Amino acid sequence: MKNKKVTKAIFPVAGLGTRFLPATKANPKEMLPIVDKPLIQYAVEEAIEAGITDLIFITNHSKRAIEDHFDTNFELEYHLEKTQKLDLLNQVKAIHPDKINCIYLRQAQPLGLGHAILCAKSLIGSDPFAVILADDLIDAKQGCLSQMAQVYQEIQQSIIAVEKVPLNKTNQYGIISVPENFSRIAKLNGIIEKPEANKAPSDLGVVGRYILEADILDILQNMMKQHEKSGLANKPELQLTDAISKLLTHNQNEVYGYRFEGKRFDCGSKAGYVLATLHYGLKHPEVMGELNAVLKGNILELT
């Protein structure tokens, strides 16, 4: 009887972030702040809460700011100590907790989410691993990944986070096929990438949290070989959804959809990002007062 624990997480951050241009021309999308903390830091904190100890970032040449964020900044720490800004000093030091390993790999070309994950194959070996897309920000009492890790302890099979999406948006998500009327968790019959509403098997869309068995890396590798064999100059992107669909019929694998508890914001879109900023701003002690006043229409109070 296997009893595997998830301790490795992949953070694919090598996308181009075209929906957020021009902000993402020189700055990584994942470094956009929600109030005062970058998206990637929320994601890392969620992973650590779930028991992850190895953080694997799939980056590219324009994402160096992410490495710097999780590295020590001696000059800043010296200054904060000297000026007795100890609260800030502690916050800065806590960004990279002890006993957590940060590993950075480069994806040379943006060949898709599936390809980004495949880049970590040699680091994952045969272990189960988590994938977190930092632009899906989830506010939850118990972190979404921690909820999923708890379920994984029981079922020891791949799990993907899903939520209800509006029917006119099924073509923006991977959509799962599951038995109707399940409450929290259900075994997948199938999954398809971005179907139109009339072809969607349900209204449950995949969001950016996965726990996957290492078998999926072999599947992705085979898909990659086939892409290369096809010899297309412009290779199509390697889709994670297609690999999950193949995983469903591979060896003894089962894949489960998990409806998490929490509120999710699509921070890869401008509207989702602004909504997240309002949501977190209304909870932030330095911001909530003024923001509340503005939202109640008492703008004059501020001037």
Burial of 294: CB neighbours in 10 Å, binned 0-12, 13-18, 19+: middle
Please, which residues have CB within 8 angstroms of residue 116's CB and are 6 or more apart in sequence? Answer: 10, 12, 14, 15, 58, 107
186 or 264: CB nearest ligand UTP: 264
Which of 6, 9, 10, 17 forms a contact with ligand UTP (CB under 6 A)? 17
Of residues 20 through 39, those in contact with ligand UTP by CB under 6 A are: 20, 29
- Choose the stretch contacting ligand UTP; rule: CB under 6 A; options: 6-14, 81-89, 216-224, 279-287: 6-14
Nearest to 121 by CA among 212, 52, 55, 218: 218
Find the binding residues for ligand UTP in span 73-132 (CB under 6 A). 107, 110-113, 115-116
Q: According to CB under 6 A, which one of 6, 9, 10, 13 is a site residue for ligand UTP? A: 13
- Nearest C-alpha neighbor of 124 from the set 222, 46, 245, 10: 10
3-state secondary structure of 81: helix
Tell me how far, at minimum, the Cβ of 74 lies from ligand UTP, in Å. Answer: 29
* Count of residues touching ligand UTP (by CB under 6 A): 21
Q: Which of 19, 37, 93, 250 binds ligand UTP (CB under 6 A)?
A: 19
Backbone angles phi, psi at 255, to 5 degrees: -130, 135
* Structure token digits, residue 225: 């070989």
CA–CA distance from 243 to each of 19, 155, 166, 219, 276 (Å)?
25, 20, 25, 6, 30
Question: Residue 41 interacts with ligand UTP (CB under 6 A)?
Answer: no
C-alpha span between 114 and 78 (Å, rounded): 41
Give the residue with the Cβ less far from ligand UTP, 113 or 176: 113
Least Cβ distance, residue 215 to ligand UTP (angstroms): 21
Tell whether omega for the bond before 285 is within 30 degrees of 0, i.e. cis: no
Nearest-approach distance from CB 242 to ligand UTP, in angstroms: 14
**Binding track, positions 193-232, relative to ligand UTP; x by CB under 6 A:** ----------------------------------------
Contact between 240 and 113 (Cβ < 8 Å): yes
Which residues between 232 and 291 bind ligand UTP (CB under 6 A)?
A: 268
- Least distance in angstroms from the C-beta of 278 to ligand UTP: 21
Alpha-carbon gap, residue 260 to 147, rounded angstroms: 7
18 or 189: CB nearest ligand UTP: 18
Residues 125-184 touching ligand UTP, rule: CB under 6 A, are: 133, 135
Task: Give the residues lining the site for ligand UTP (CB under 6 A).
Answer: 12-20, 29, 58, 107, 110-113, 115-116, 133, 135, 268
